[in-house]
């Protein structure tokens, strides 16, 4: 599954509720067997504007790697990362039977998209939706308990200290490229009774990333500019995608 489609599936799944029922959210090109439901489709809009690039980063080795040192398990070795910036379009389709269902579901989706773009604590990769705990702190998320300015807005009160990482950033999506179009209606009148359909279109850029294992003597280190947001997103995406970080 494409990483962008997977991101929006995680963003919406089990979060849309209508009449005390969870609305199904699936990856599909047409409506689900039951309505109301939400389907997600995606299309590459990439025109090859960005070249593929390579960087070397230092990461810990997996325990089954031939160079893994049991006496020094935290030793970091160079790994080759190859990445390319790409353009993508997501379509969120709302299928329902009444205008009330359409309005409520579309409003909920737009609210969830707003929370994710604005760094709400519930879209931190370290937040556990079931226990409400922060995986880094191993206790309840501070954004739920601290009543300061950031806490009242649903933001992590100390993002650097608690290692806040947004779902977009962790999957290599550049948040400043996200463009959400106004929803429009495309009802299915050949369906009996007519099936109501609303579509929300989202265009964005993201990084397609590959990480290669390498031996200690092969790659030379490349210093990355920590202030460059592209490199920052790249490193976070690599660290999230790979095991044994």
pLDDT one-digit tens code per residue, 69-126? 889 988 888 878 888 889 999 999 999 999 999 999 999 999 999 999 999 999 999 9
Q: What is the pLDDT of residue 220?
A: 43
3-state secondary structure 55-113: EEEEEECCCCCCCCCCCCCCCEEEEEEEEEEEEEEEEEEEEECCHHHHHHHHHHHHHHH
Weakest mean pLDDT among 31-40, 137-146, 200-209:
31-40
Tokens 């092969």 locate to 218
Q: What is the pLDDT of residue 36?
A: 93
pLDDT one-digit tens code per residue, 5-46? 999 999 999 999 999 999 999 998 776 678 899 999 999 988
Orientation of helix 3-12 relative to helix 99-117, angle to 10°? 110
Q: Of residues 65 and 92, which shows the higher confidence score?
A: 92
Averaged pLDDT of the chain: 84
Mean of pLDDT values over 57-78 = 83
Q: What is the pLDDT of residue 196?
A: 94
Residue 38 DSSP label: E
pLDDT at 67 over 90: no
pLDDT at 231 over 80: no
Weakest mean pLDDT among 36-45, 215-224, 236-245:
215-224
- Candidates 5, 85, 82; CA nearest to 41 is 5
CA distance 8 to 80: 28
- Candidates 26, 55, 56, 58; CA nearest to 42 is 26
* Domain map (residue ranges) of the chain: 3-119+174-241, 124-165
pLDDT at 242 over 50: no
pLDDT at 165 over 80: yes
Residue 227 neighbours by CB distance under 10 Å: 7
Residue 221 neighbours by CB distance under 10 Å: 10
């Amino acid at each position: 599954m494409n990483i962008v489609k997977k991101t929006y599936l995680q963003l919406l799944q089990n979060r849309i509720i209508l009449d005390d029922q969870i609305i199904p959210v699936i990856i599909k090109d047409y409506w689900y067997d039951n309505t109301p439901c939400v389907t997600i489709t995606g299309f590459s809009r990439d025109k090859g504007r960005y070249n593929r690039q390579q960087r070397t980063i230092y990461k810990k080795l997996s325990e089954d790697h031939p160079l893994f040192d049991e006496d020094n398990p935290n030793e970091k070795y160079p790994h080759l990362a190859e990445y390319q910036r790409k353009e993508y379009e997501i379509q969120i389709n709302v299928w329902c039977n009444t205008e009330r269902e359409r309005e409520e579901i579309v409003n909920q989706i737009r609210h969830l998209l707003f929370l994710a773009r604005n760094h709400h604590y519930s879209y931190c990769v370290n937040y556990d939706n079931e226990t409400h705990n922060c995986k880094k702190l191993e206790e309840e998320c501070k954004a739920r308990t601290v009543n300061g300015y950031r806490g009242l807005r649903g933001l992590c009160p100390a993002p650097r200290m608690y290692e806040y990482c947004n779902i977009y950033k962790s999957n290599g999506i550049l948040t400043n490229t996200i463009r959400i179009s106004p929803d429009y209606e495309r009802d299915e009148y050949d369906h009996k009774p007519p099936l109501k359909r609303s579509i929300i279109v989202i265009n964005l850029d993201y990084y397609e990333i590959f990480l290669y294992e390498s031996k200690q003597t092969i790659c030379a280190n490349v210093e990355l500019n920590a202030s460059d947001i592209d490199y920052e997103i790249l490193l976070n995406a690599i660290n999230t995608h790979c095991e044994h970080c």
